[in-house]
Structure 1
Amino acid sequence: LKAGTIQKKVNATAAKRYELADQRRQSIVGVNQYVNLAEKKLEAPEGSCCSAHKGHGCCKNADIQLPEVEMSVDSACKAAGEGFSTCLINKALVAGVDCKCGEPLEMEALPKRRLAERFESLLAKADAWVEEKGSRPMVFFANMGPLRQHKARADFSRDFLRAGGLDVVYPSGFQTPEDAARAAAESGCAVCVICSTDDTYPEIVPAFCKALKEIRPDMMVALAGYPADHVEAFKEAGVDIFIHVKANCYNTVEAIQNKIGL
């Protein structure tokens, strides 16, 4: 611990797990996958046990100030048996370490971490938007062609965006890129997602981006999928971001939230 070896290994493992969660290669149901935007938050009852750090907000005890006292592990166990919340016990342990050798223990601390916390921060920003404006932040879907042409990617993208508390305008398929661009521009959304197939994108994407930029040059354009042979050409045409199975969901959704103004 003094040399930092354990901390280094733990931090490396944590970073890898966060990476898997950010890419949704590790599912956290209701957080980075299958988010239910209609669910209601639970209120933590008074006096509930929680190891949250000060200011976390998930437990009312998290903000209670504790006098600077020293507490050994034995006395912490005794306190737990007497019904003290883990918030208070943790504060006491942090305030002073029972060291029999009499020397101060100087070492890198290991922070409390939960795999879901990064996505929960995105959801919290969206919830704050709802409380302030009375409606959920929306993204427009430029669904192209018949249902079989756009549904798979539109459904994937909708679940992808819900990991950031975003909902979508999900119209029927448009017949022309120009019609889709006009509807996107008139939607009032700051971001739109083109949903179709790799085979149709070379024809759709440049025409859509050209038409949209003439009306709403400030609108962010996302593409559902990642057609590797055309990515650079589509970026030049005006695509800002790509939504696909290998994308970093956390970074992508955060960028979209920033564009919307969350």
Structure 2
Amino acid sequence: MDDLNLASDFPQATREQWLERVEGVLKGADFRKKLVARTHDGIEIQPLYPKAEGSAPVAREQAGRWRVSQRIDHPEPAKANELALLDLEGGADCLNLILAGAPSARGFGVGVDNVEDLDRTLSGVMLDLIALKIETAPFMGRLVAEKVSALVKRRGLDPASLAIDFGLDPLGDIARTGQIVLPWTELSQRVANTVSTLQDQGFKGPMLRIDARAFHEAGAGEAQELAAALAVGVAYLRTLEAHGHSLESARDLLSFLLVADAGEFLSVAKLRAMRRLWARIEQACGLEPKPIRLHAETAWRMTTRRDPWVNMLRTTVAAFSAGIGGADGITVLPFTAALGLPDAFARRIARNTQLILLDESNLARVADPAAGAGGFEALTDALCEKAWALFQEIEREGGILESLKGDKLQARIAAVRAQREKAAATRKEPITGTSEFPNIGEAEVSVLFAAPNELSSPLWGGDGGGGVSDSLSGSGANTPTPTPPHKGEGKLTIAPLPSIRTAEPFERLRDRADAHFAKTGTRPRIFLANLGPIAAFTARSTFAKNFFEAGGIEAITNDGFSDQGKLRQAYLDSKAKLCCICSTDEIYENHAVETTETLRSSGSTLVYLAGRQGNHEDAWKGAGITTFIFAGCDTLKVLSQALDEACA
């Protein structure tokens, strides 16, 4: 049978023809407003891109499979070891050793007080066959490096044969904590000495990690994250060069860690842009570019406590994007990470998410799948241009440390964070399962120990019996962050970068509603006053139900009313303080006022209407309608006020 080549039978469509069809659909509406989106960095995202001509694929250090990395963060070394061995047997080939006090430990982390604890944690782990990434408490990297070195010596291993990323990141520590524990000249000298000591012992590195998570978790845009990473990387090159390392050797001591989230196109473009941008740095240093060591982790910022099963979808998209974008290794946060210490099931799902992408979807079989794709290439180019300009701005301010000390970088990130918060509050950027399509009757999700800030939650809890401190004898999860050495009385403080999850404001509302339920045995309620036939009110009734249940307020619905007496009785039977009128604009014109008067006279303290007020605002508010809810309104503000009344 001959191969069919249908494409040759049709003429190639042009962009002009496409635009002509689009204009017919838009019917005079502004093309840019309707179809052109913008990132929080101000980069345009077009609805259609032509094929990219002459693009070159990005290069990785080793083509093929990326490393499947798993977090080791149980506070007890023996239990951490058990989980690590399960991960390795299940297909992981890289371990992220998260130590107590590390920012990414989220209140947990392995308690390693000495080499024996480290040995127990890594018992049975063949360090010469896997990669090991280390994450420590702020400013504790040198002390941990000494323990790792001692363990390697104890086991008689050749340091040069090991793939250990020591993860020293003093600038990241400063950005996260807001503490400058020593003058930079002294701190950088200590870092350089640690690097030299490790090199003398035979370790190849990387030693220093450019970790962009601090900036991402603070709300930075993609270009801001890249610019900050460049600025940190350049600062480390300068530090190493100033202390006797050639630039050629210094760059080989660096690794990079970027965040991948559920925004597929931007995550792919961001990872690709990082490689291009650093190659430009190397060229500016007079070096022939080499592929960087680039690790990716799924975003803490996008994880949710409510309906956490949706986190599986988010992390799948993020891991896919990181793989397509050319990451050398990927860490998937377990879907229950925001709730507490993940159990074996959540860890297995995190691990298998990557294994399915690798072994069933075969994503690693193409070196750079995004090469030549118009959308990806255009976004990569745009990110490179924007990030380079932002990087130059940081450099003009004196470099990353001076920018942080002057609160300049923090202020720019805060401005973008405010945009994100507004987009979340108005549900312009909806959070599935939290701000959209919530389930107020969701069941508990199992974790080994509840997150420290969730221990008093009436809904979420662990299955570990007593509290974390009881079960762990006070070590690990409740252990304070270790005190940085050599703090001295002359330390400076700056504005620290916050670590924020986007869903937190909605989760706080749900917590308030749950607390009310725990105290009274009933949830805050709102009665949906559906008017007319089902076809008339269904759309807005469904909208209102999702709207209020995003704040934990149970929506009492019905089949609609045309009789005000029956409406009154149904409202009284619901025992709700609040009500929301739901129907069409036409029915509102004729019945909104009398319905409001009926509900007000029946005892409703707040009356909402699903829809915009249009020309009826004065009349409807005069009748007693309190608030209008619609797509784009400040959902958080409305729900907070509703809870104030419903829980009073």
Q: Is the 8 A contact 1:181 1:208 kept in 2?
A: no
1:63-82 equivalences under 5 Å are: none
Q: Is the 8 A contact 1:143 1:194 kept in 2?
A: yes
Look up the equivalent residue of 2:430 and give its one-letter code: S
1:132-171 equivalences under 5 Å are: 132-171=519-558
CA deviations over 1:21-66 (Å, ceiling 9, x no partner): 11111121111111122222334314x8x7x67989789669xxxx
- Match of 1:234, SS state, is helix
Residues 56 and 38 of structure 1: CA distance in aligned 2, closer, same or farther (over 3 Å) = closer
Match of 1:200 among 571, 584, 587: 587
Residues 188 and 45 of structure 1: CA distance in aligned 2, closer, same or farther (over 3 Å) = same
1:94-105 equivalences under 5 Å are: 95-96=483-484, 103-105=490-492
Structure 2 CA distance, aligned partners of 1:123 and 1:41? 14
Structure with greater contact order relative to length (CA < 8 Å, sep ≥ 6)? 1
Structure 1 CA distance, aligned partners of 2:574 and 2:534? 21
Structure 2 CA distance, aligned partners of 1:29 and 1:97? 43
**1:20: which partner in 2?**
423
**1:75: which partner in 2?**
none
Look up the equivalent residue of 1:33 and give its one-letter code: E
Look up the equivalent residue of 1:12 and give its one-letter code: A
Match of 2:628 among 236, 242, 248: 242
Deviation at 1:172? 1.2
Look up the equivalent residue of 1:17 and give its one-letter code: R
Residues 7 and 61 of structure 1: CA distance in aligned 2, closer, same or farther (over 3 Å) = farther
The root-mean-square deviation of aligned C-alpha atoms, in Å, is 2.9
- Match of 1:199, SS state, is helix
- Match of 1:200, SS state, is helix
Deviation at 1:136? 2.4
- Match of 1:189, SS state, is coil
- Match of 1:9, SS state, is helix
Look up the equivalent residue of 1:193 and give its one-letter code: C
Structure 1 CA distance, aligned partners of 2:526 and 2:496? 41
Deviation at 1:140? 0.6
Structure 2 CA distance, aligned partners of 1:86 and 1:7? 29
Q: Is the 8 A contact 1:137 1:167 kept in 2?
A: yes
Residues 105 and 229 of structure 1: CA distance in aligned 2, closer, same or farther (over 3 Å) = same
Q: Is the 8 A contact 1:222 1:240 kept in 2?
A: yes
**1:117: which partner in 2?**
504
- Match of 2:409, SS state, is helix
Q: Is the 8 A contact 2:516 2:647 kept in 1?
A: no
**2:27: which partner in 1?**
none
Look up the equivalent residue of 2:631 and give its one-letter code: V
Q: Is the 8 A contact 1:185 1:212 kept in 2?
A: no
**Stretch deviating more after TM superposition (21-30 or 148-157):** 21-30
When the two structures are aligned, how many residues end up with a matched partner? 234
**Stretch deviating more after TM superposition (177-186 or 21-30):** 177-186
Deviation at 1:103? 4.6
- Match of 1:222, SS state, is strand
Deviation at 1:215? 3.2
Match of 2:570 among 173, 179, 183: 183
- Match of 2:528, SS state, is strand
* TM-score (normalizing by structure 1): 0.78
Residues 6 and 88 of structure 1: CA distance in aligned 2, closer, same or farther (over 3 Å) = farther
The structure that has the greater radius of gyration is: 2
Q: Is the 8 A contact 1:7 1:110 kept in 2?
A: yes
Look up the equivalent residue of 1:125 and give its one-letter code: R
Q: Is the 8 A contact 1:24 1:249 kept in 2?
A: yes
Structure 2 CA distance, aligned partners of 1:176 and 1:142? 11
Q: Is the 8 A contact 2:436 2:547 kept in 1?
A: yes
Look up the equivalent residue of 1:257 and give its one-letter code: L
Q: Does 2:636 align with 1:233?
A: no
Structure 1 CA distance, aligned partners of 2:626 and 2:528? 15
Structure 2 CA distance, aligned partners of 1:4 and 1:108? 7
Deviation at 1:187? 2.6
Structure 2 CA distance, aligned partners of 1:207 and 1:182? 15
- Match of 2:492, SS state, is coil
Residues 4 and 98 of structure 1: CA distance in aligned 2, closer, same or farther (over 3 Å) = farther
Structure 2 CA distance, aligned partners of 1:182 and 1:88? 56
Q: Is the 8 A contact 2:537 2:583 kept in 1?
A: yes
Q: Is the 8 A contact 2:548 2:639 kept in 1?
A: yes
Structure 1 CA distance, aligned partners of 2:563 and 2:551? 30
- Match of 2:542, SS state, is helix
Q: Is the 8 A contact 2:579 2:608 kept in 1?
A: yes
Look up the equivalent residue of 2:624 and give its one-letter code: G
**1:34: which partner in 2?**
437
Gaps in structure 1 of 5+ consecutive residues = 63-83
Deviation at 1:133? 2.4
Look up the equivalent residue of 2:640 and give its one-letter code: E
- Match of 2:576, SS state, is coil
- Match of 1:223, SS state, is strand
**Stretch deviating more after TM superposition (1-10 or 103-112):** 103-112
Structure 1 CA distance, aligned partners of 2:576 and 2:608? 13
Structure 2 CA distance, aligned partners of 1:105 and 1:54? 32
* TM-score (normalizing by structure 2): 0.33
Look up the equivalent residue of 1:44 and give its one-letter code: V
Residues 153 and 248 of structure 1: CA distance in aligned 2, closer, same or farther (over 3 Å) = same
Structure 2 CA distance, aligned partners of 1:116 and 1:53? 15
Q: Is the 8 A contact 1:181 1:209 kept in 2?
A: no
Q: Is the 8 A contact 2:426 2:636 kept in 1?
A: yes
Look up the equivalent residue of 2:417 and give its one-letter code: A
Structure 2 CA distance, aligned partners of 1:24 and 1:41? 26
Percent identity between matched residues is 27
Gaps in structure 2 of 5+ consecutive residues = 1-403, 470-474
Structure 2 CA distance, aligned partners of 1:97 and 1:236? 65
Residues 86 and 124 of structure 1: CA distance in aligned 2, closer, same or farther (over 3 Å) = same
**Stretch deviating more after TM superposition (24-33 or 34-43):** 34-43
CA deviations over 1:100-139 (Å, ceiling 9, x no partner): 9x95222112222111111111111112222222232221
**1:76: which partner in 2?**
none
Look up the equivalent residue of 2:558 and give its one-letter code: P
Q: Is the 8 A contact 2:613 2:628 kept in 1?
A: no
Structure 2 CA distance, aligned partners of 1:54 and 1:5? 33
Structure 1 CA distance, aligned partners of 2:493 and 2:625? 50
Q: Is the 8 A contact 2:599 2:607 kept in 1?
A: no
